[in-house]
Structure 1
C-alpha cells in the first residue's frame, strides 16, 4: 500500500512513546499501522519509537514480541530490510504508570543525541490511568517546552459529562488544546472520509440530503465478538459509553453536518458541533420511548455455542450492564427537522458489520396503484464501513415483460478498484498525529455535547437497577428495539 505523497519531515516529532505497549490496542492496531507507514516511507529517519510497559523485558525481548505480534499480519515481510529498519527504531522502557521514577527513566530515552524536543505520547491504556500519566509527564518535565509535544487520548473520554470536564481541565493544566489529539478511529475509516466527498463533491446528492427527501437514517455498529476478556473495563462502561457516545455520535455528526467553509480542522469540527448542539434533549419521562438496552445471553455465533454475558470471566454477578443499545434522536434544525436518526450497537450480534443506511421518502404520488405493483419500496443509500467498504444506491427499474413489475437494482459507487487496498484507520490517524493534522480528531466541545445528549439516558438507567432485557447471542438484538420506530413501515436494515 502506497500513500499518495511523501510527508514533509521538517516539523515532525522525533520520538513516539506508546504507553501500554504490550496491550491489545498496541498489538492489534498501533504496531501494524506503524509498520505500514514505515513500509510506505512516511516515517522520518530520526523518529524513535519507545515502548513503555510493566513487563521486565529488554529491547531485544521487546523486538521479539514485535516479530511474534506482526508475524500473521505481514507474512514474508518479516524477513525484509524494511522490517529490520522498523525494529531498529524501537527502544524499550520498563515502567509503572503510577510511579514518577519511571517517567524520569523515560526522559533519558528521548532522543539523547538530538536537540529535538517534539514527542508524541500515545495513551493506549485504560481511561482510569489517563490522569496519572498526564500528571507524571508534568512531574518529569516531559511536557516541556509547552506546545511542542502531542498527547493522544483514546476513547471513552470520561464516564459522563462531569468526569469528561474534569479530565479536560486536567489535560489543559499540562498541555495546550493544539497538543491534544482525542482519537476516534471511526473517523479515520475510508468510507467515513469518503462520505464527505460523496455529499459535497456531487451536486446530484447534496440537494436531496435533507428533511424534504429523507425519511430516516440508521447507523448500526454490530459486533459478533463478546467482551474479549475486558470485563474490568466493559462491566463499568457498557455499550452506551463504549460505543454510542463516541463512535456512533461522530458518525451521526458527519452524516448530518452542513458543508464547512473549508476542509480545515476547526471548520469541520465547528459544523459537527452545530449538529450535536441541535439534537433535541431527551427529557426524563421520554427516555423509555427513545432508548432501549439489553444484555446477551447464551446462543450461537457463526455456528459456535457462546456463553452469555453474565458467564463471561470477571463479570459481576447479576450485572445489568448493557451489551446492546438502540436510541432515537431528532436534530432540530432547518435541514433535519422531524427526521429520526436511529442508532444501535451491540456485542454478540449476528455478524460484524458497520452500516449507515439512509432511507428516502416514498414518492408523493402512487402512479402504480392499478398495476400488479401495489406500493413501490423506498430508495436507500447504503454506506458500508465494514466488513465491506462500499457506497450503494437502491433504485427501481422495470422488469422485462408485459406487466408493470419492478425490481430493485443497486448502483454501486464503491471507491476501491480491484487492485487497491483501503488504508487502515489507524494508519491514517497515526500519520495525521505525526504530521500535526487535527482534522480527523475530536475537539472537546464535541465530546461535551455528545455527553450532554446521552446523559439523561445514563442517569435514568442508573436508577433502574433491577432488570435488563436480554437477547440471544447470534441474533440482531432484542425485539424491543423495534418499538423506537415512528412508523410501521420502518424496520432495521441489517445488511447491504
Structure 2
C-alpha cells in the first residue's frame, strides 16, 4: 500500500443487497490475499438494531452465502476490523457518532476516510450534506464512492453534480462502474495499444462495424422498484455500454494516468453524432420481455413480475446505433445492445472487418468470403480473432478458424471487478473511475431516446423470454449483410 492509503472505510447501506453480494465479499477476498492494510478499520452503517456482535453474525452469514470460499481463520481477522454504527441516514446524530469514531485522540478533525454510498441515489445528497455538517467536507482528505445511476437524465445528472460539489471537490469523488474493473476490459487497452498489427487496422479503413452486447438471463428479481423507473437504457446503455464504447474507440493516451486516460474517453463521447428527433426510430429500438422458457423452465413476462407497475412499458431491451464523427471512425456504426431474460448471461465486443477488396477465388467452389472478426468476450473471458483457412482436400474450399488470444492460464484466479476497484480507491488511483464530463456527455448521447420514449406511453413491442430480443432489432443496421453476433 502507498503512504497515501486511507485507513478508515465507511459503508453506508452495509446491510443492503449490493454490500452483501459485492462489497463485503470483495473486501473479504482482499483480506484473504493480504492486500488490505493492517490498520484499516471498516465501519458498517445500517438501520437494524444491532450491536457489533449482531453485525458480525450477519456478516458471517453473508460471506458464507456470497464469498464462495469462506475460511473461518480469515474471517476472524476480517471481523476484527469492523464496527457497527446504527442510525438513520437523515439523522444528524448518526454522523456525529461517526465523527467521534473516526477522530483520533486529540485531533481537530476526523481521520482521513473513504465513504462508500451503497444506497439509493435519492439519498446521496442527504448523506453528503450531513457528512459535511459533521466535519467531513471538501477541505479534508476524504473520498466519496458513488454507485450508478448518476442521475436519471442529463438535467438531473447536472443537478446532482452541483449538489455534490457544494460539499466536496471533484477530486474527492469516485464514480464507480464495475465494468471498468474487469480485467478483460483493461486487457482491451493492452490488446489495442501493445500490438502494432492490431492498432494499425483499428480504424474506418478496415472495420465495417462494432457490436457491444450485454445480455442477462435473469429478470428484474428484487430490483423492480428501481428498474421499473429506470429501464435498460438508463440502467445499462448510458453507463456500462458507453464506457466500453469509449475504450474500443479512444485514441492512444499519452500515459495511463487517470486524467489523460479519461480525457481520451471524453473526446470519444463528444464526437458521437447527435441524433435528430426525426431519426430516433432509425437509431434505436426498445422492447420488453414476455413469458418464455429459459433452461427448460417457464418464466413470467416482465409485466407479471412482482413489484412491476400494471401496464408498465418500461424497456428491458435496447438496441441502439451511434456514429463517432472523427478521423478514425467516421461512417462506422457502433451497435449497442442489452436485454434481460435472454438465452444466456454474456458480455461481448464483436468487431467485423470489411470484405476483402479482391474476389480472387470467384472461379473456385468458394462462392463468397465472409469478413473477419475480432471477438472479445467479457463474460466469460476470451479474446479471439476469426480467420479463414483452406479445408484439407483437393478442392479450394475454406472454413473459419479462431486464434485464441485469451490471457488467463490454467490455475490463474480471476480478480473480481469490485476487488480491483476497491484497491484503487484505497490507493487513490482514479484511472478506472468516471469523471463528471464523461457522465454528462454519455447522457447527451442517449437523452434524445429518453425524451422521445417518454412521450410514447401507449405501447411497447415484446420478445419471448429466452430469445435474443425482438426481430425488429435488425432494422437499425446499415446493411443487409450485417447481423447480430449472438455466439462467439
User: Shared fold (TM-score greater than 0.5)?
Assistant: yes
Task: Say if 2:445 is the partner of 1:453.
Answer: yes
Whole-angstrom distance in 2 between the partners of 1:397 and 1:129: 57
Task: Say if 2:271 is the partner of 1:302.
Answer: no
Q: Where do residues 420-431 of structure 1 align in structure 2 (5 Å cutoff)?
A: 420-431=412-423
Task: Say if 2:356 is the partner of 1:356.
Answer: no
Paired position in structure 2 for 1:35: 28
TM-score (norm 2): 0.98
Which one of 48, 53, 59 corresponds to residue 55 of structure 1? 48
3-state SS of 1:441 partner: coil
- The 1:178–1:147 alpha-carbon spacing in structure 2 relative to 1, beyond 3 Å, is farther
- The 1:337–1:403 alpha-carbon spacing in structure 2 relative to 1, beyond 3 Å, is same
Which one of 1, 11, 18 corresponds to residue 4 of structure 2? 11
Paired position in structure 2 for 1:375: 368
Structure 1 range deviating more: 150-159 or 368-377: 368-377
- The 1:426–1:75 alpha-carbon spacing in structure 2 relative to 1, beyond 3 Å, is closer
3-state SS of 1:108 partner: helix
Measured against aligned partners, the alpha-carbon deviations of 1:168-222 in whole angstroms (never above 9, x if no partner) come to 1111111111100000100110111000000000001001000000000000000
For the Cα contact (< 8 Å) 2:375–2:385, is it kept in 1? yes
- The 1:66–1:491 alpha-carbon spacing in structure 2 relative to 1, beyond 3 Å, is same
Whole-angstrom distance in 2 between the partners of 1:303 and 1:138: 53
Paired position in structure 2 for 1:192: 185
Which one of 106, 112, 117 corresponds to residue 111 of structure 2? 117
Which one of 260, 266, 271 corresponds to residue 253 of structure 2? 260
Task: Say if 2:17 is the partner of 1:24.
Answer: yes
Measured against aligned partners, the alpha-carbon deviations of 1:144-180 in whole angstroms (never above 9, x if no partner) come to 6x24000001011000111101111111111111100
Whole-angstrom distance in 2 between the partners of 1:222 and 1:251: 14
3-state SS of 2:71 partner: helix
How far the C-alpha of 1:108 sits from its partner, in A, is: 2.3
Structure 1 range deviating more: 295-304 or 281-290: 295-304
Whole-angstrom distance in 2 between the partners of 1:40 and 1:348: 35
Whole-angstrom distance in 1 between the partners of 2:466 and 2:75: 39
Measured against aligned partners, the alpha-carbon deviations of 1:100-126 in whole angstroms (never above 9, x if no partner) come to 222212222225458571110001111
Paired position in structure 2 for 1:479: 471
Whole-angstrom distance in 2 between the partners of 1:113 and 1:218: 56
Which one of 274, 279, 294 corresponds to residue 281 of structure 1? 274
For the Cα contact (< 8 Å) 2:63–2:70, is it kept in 1? no
CA RMSD of aligned residues (A): 1.2
Which one of 398, 413, 437 corresponds to residue 406 of structure 1? 398
For the Cα contact (< 8 Å) 2:104–2:111, is it kept in 1? no
Measured against aligned partners, the alpha-carbon deviations of 1:281-334 in whole angstroms (never above 9, x if no partner) come to 001010000010001111111111111111111211101110111100000000
Whole-angstrom distance in 1 between the partners of 2:67 and 2:137: 35
How far the C-alpha of 1:140 sits from its partner, in A, is: 1.7
Q: Where do residues 112-191 of structure 1 align in structure 2 (5 Å cutoff)?
A: 112=104, 117-143=111-137, 146-191=139-184
Whole-angstrom distance in 2 between the partners of 1:74 and 1:454: 36
TM-score (norm 1): 0.96
3-state SS of 2:127 partner: helix
Where structure 1 has 5 or more consecutive residues not aligned to the other structure, the ranges are 1-6
Task: Say if 2:436 is the partner of 1:444.
Answer: yes
For the Cα contact (< 8 Å) 2:325–2:331, is it kept in 1? yes
3-state SS of 2:286 partner: strand
For the Cα contact (< 8 Å) 2:389–2:401, is it kept in 1? yes
How far the C-alpha of 1:252 sits from its partner, in A, is: 0.3
Question: Across the two proteins, how many residue pairs are aligned to each other?
Answer: 486
For the Cα contact (< 8 Å) 1:214–1:339, is it kept in 2? yes
Whole-angstrom distance in 1 between the partners of 2:240 and 2:46: 28
For the Cα contact (< 8 Å) 2:113–2:142, is it kept in 1? yes
How far the C-alpha of 1:143 sits from its partner, in A, is: 2.6
Where structure 2 has 5 or more consecutive residues not aligned to the other structure, the ranges are none
For the Cα contact (< 8 Å) 1:276–1:450, is it kept in 2? yes
Whole-angstrom distance in 2 between the partners of 1:72 and 1:25: 13
How far the C-alpha of 1:23 sits from its partner, in A, is: 1.1
3-state SS of 1:12 partner: coil
How far the C-alpha of 1:61 sits from its partner, in A, is: 1.3
For the Cα contact (< 8 Å) 2:210–2:334, is it kept in 1? yes
3-state SS of 1:365 partner: coil
Whole-angstrom distance in 1 between the partners of 2:402 and 2:106: 57
Whole-angstrom distance in 2 between the partners of 1:114 and 1:343: 55
3-state SS of 2:197 partner: coil
How far the C-alpha of 1:71 sits from its partner, in A, is: 1.0
